[in-house]
Amino acid sequence: MLISRFFKGRFKYSRNQKILQKRNGVALILALTSLMFMVYIATEVTKDSAIEFVVNSKEMTRLKAYYAARNSMQIALLRIKLFQQASQLPLPEAYASQLDLIWKFPFAWPLPIPGDLNSVDKEMMQNVTKESLMDATYTHTIEDEGSKIDLNDLASPSKTLREVTRKQVLNIFEQKVNSDDDFRSKYQNENMEDLVGRIYDWMSDSTTALQGGDKRQAFSELGQGYPPNRGFRTVEELRLVPGMNEDFYQLLAPRVTIYGMKAINPNSASKDVLMSLDPGIGEEAVTEALARREDPEKGGPFKGKGDECLKDFKSFVETKGARLSPEFDKIPMVCDKVFNFKIIATGVYGGGQFALQKNIVAYVVDISKAAAQVKTFLDKEKLEENPQTPAPNPNPTPNPAAGPGSSPPKQEPLPKGAPRVVYWTEY
């Protein structure tokens, strides 16, 4: 008994026992500290993983929206190619007048289901949409870009195009002054000739301004490199022209382009563009012209090649009260099919606040036809300057062996591949 009590006392009050108790407290602190570090690391890893997941999912959403827009653009280019090919076919006039629907008709994916569609067709369209690998939505619009006023024609090698374009731009401002009281009160004393002259100076390779003097003085605030002495690359560059304010830009922007057909197409030009052709054309005459080209019973689209197109349009608007000036006969017009287009493709992926949209804008231009149009005016001007020069024959001499039942001459084949895109931007 005494021995057991002795050992118990020794163990109870032993210094080793106290050291062991102190070490137990340190171990607890170390355990808690380690646990805190592990919780912190786990929290940071979870946070980083969540951020990485959000970033990658956003990038995936952006890619899907972008490629949806690219897919929409490819379909739009295919529609334009089909239109170009169909336009070369010898179709009856009743069918040929409907070809514009190939590019005009709106397009969207998934295909919109009409409300009056029967249940079987609705189910079939829904199944097709579900089976598709495209889980994003996209749309595109194709607009006629060639029938606007081409600003770059202000510096065209053709004198006719230069003069006609200058008068059309001035007519836009003149008609706005005459029809808008607020605009007239602000800008009736503004010299629009100077503004149009500075637009020309932007493109001219001469250091002398159109209105006289050194043109670089007017552009000095823009710094070195201005004016660039080249054609406009985008319509937005108009904002940099000295004297161009926001009111003037908003007035010109929907009416002008830098990808024109070097002529006005009365069958596709907008009301504002047709109004700018001549101060005496009148809104009523233009409204009647728009109604005629859309209604076969009223005459349908204007017809004719070259000057015949101009004569057809001129005779019609004059019967509707237009009082045209003699300069109207110099306006270049074409009644052929549209060959310059603006495409706006949009892709959307996701829904609600997580949806992401990408847009692509492209311009399709038939450069060969635009160059041929300019050459036509240059040939006419040379003939006017030197009447003894033999006039070029636009139509080749027909084959003497060809009879009334012979096939029409072959048209120039279309270039292989997709239509030519001269401008592409994404945002």
For 164-186, what is each residue's pLDDT tens digit?
Answer: 899 989 999 988 998 889 999 99
- Does residue 381 form part of some domain? no
pLDDT tens figures, 226-261: 999 999 988 999 999 999 999 999 999 999 999 988
In this prediction, residue 110 carries a pLDDT of 85
Same domain, 295 and 323: yes
* 362 neighbors 423 (Cβ within 8 angstroms): yes
Other Cβ atoms less than 10 A from the Cβ of 315: the count is 10
Same domain, 346 and 314: no
- Does residue 376 form part of some domain? no
Same domain, 173 and 298: yes
For 9, 12, 258, the CA distances from 18, given in Å and listed in that order, are: 13, 9, 94
Using CA atoms, how far apart are residues 66 and 71, in angstroms rounded to an integer?
9
- Identify which of 149, 144, 146 has the alpha carbon closest to the alpha carbon of residue 252: 149
Same domain, 171 and 109: no
Query: Is pLDDT above 80 for 352?
Result: no
Query: Is pLDDT above 50 for 403?
Result: no
Average pLDDT for 183-199? 90
Last residue of a domain, one of 301, 330, 359: 330
Same domain, 277 and 347: no
* 334 neighbors 144 (Cβ within 8 angstroms): no
The structural domain count of the chain equals 2
pTM of the model: 0.77
Using CA atoms, how far apart are residues 378 and 376, in angstroms rounded to an integer?
5
Same domain, 119 and 135: yes
The CA-based angle 364-368-374, given to 5 degrees, is 110
- Does residue 400 form part of some domain? no
Other Cβ atoms less than 10 A from the Cβ of 2: the count is 6
In this prediction, residue 50 carries a pLDDT of 81
* 301 neighbors 97 (Cβ within 8 angstroms): yes
Residue type, 70: R
Task: Work out the pLDDT band at 345, boundaries 50, 70, 90.
Answer: very high
- Does residue 231 form part of some domain? yes
**What angle do helix axes 159-179 and 192-203 make, rounded to 10 degrees?**
140
Find the domain containing 70 and state its range: 60-146+339-367+415-426
Start-to-end CA distance of the chain, whole Å, equals 95
What sign does the CA torsion over 100, 286, 305, 169 have?
negative
Residue type, 317: V
pLDDT tens figures, 358-376: 999 999 998 888 888 788 8
Query: Is pLDDT above 70 for 83?
Result: yes
* 235 neighbors 260 (Cβ within 8 angstroms): no
- Identify which of 190, 205, 166 has the alpha carbon closest to the alpha carbon of residue 243: 190
In this prediction, residue 391 carries a pLDDT of 53
pLDDT tens figures, 110-138: 877 777 777 777 788 778 777 777 788 99
Same domain, 92 and 189: no
Task: Work out the pLDDT band at 79, boundaries 50, 70, 90.
Answer: very high
**In sequence order, which residues have a C-beta less than 8 Å from that of residue 270 and are 6 or more positions away?**
147, 148, 254, 255
Which long-range CB contacts under 8 A does 129-137 form with residues at least 24 apart? 134/68, 134/71, 134/109, 135/64, 135/349, 136/64, 136/65, 136/67, 136/68, 136/347, 136/348, 136/349, 137/68, 137/108, 137/109, 137/110, 137/347, 137/348, 137/349
Using CA atoms, how far apart are residues 364 and 77, in angstroms rounded to an integer?
9
Same domain, 175 and 298: yes
- Does residue 312 form part of some domain? yes
Q: How do beta strands 421-426 and 356-364 pair?
A: antiparallel
Average pLDDT for 100-113? 85
**In sequence order, which residues have a C-beta less than 8 Å from that of residue 125 and are 6 or more positions away?**
111, 113, 117
In this prediction, residue 118 carries a pLDDT of 77
Same domain, 137 and 155: no
Same domain, 136 and 168: no
> Tell me, what DSSP letter sits at residue 276?
T
- Does residue 21 form part of some domain? no
Other Cβ atoms less than 10 A from the Cβ of 122: the count is 13
Residue 36 in tokens: 């805190």
Last residue of a domain, one of 330, 350, 381: 330
Average pLDDT for 404-412? 51
Q: How do beta strands 256-257 and 149-150 pair?
A: parallel
Residue 294 in tokens: 């859309």
Average pLDDT for 326-336? 84
- Does residue 408 form part of some domain? no
In this prediction, residue 1 carries a pLDDT of 56
* 290 neighbors 317 (Cβ within 8 angstroms): no
* 377 neighbors 331 (Cβ within 8 angstroms): no
- Does residue 398 form part of some domain? no
The CATH number for 271's domain is 1.10.40.60
Same domain, 285 and 157: yes
Average pLDDT for 65-75? 94
In this prediction, residue 400 carries a pLDDT of 42
Same domain, 120 and 267: no
In this prediction, residue 245 carries a pLDDT of 92
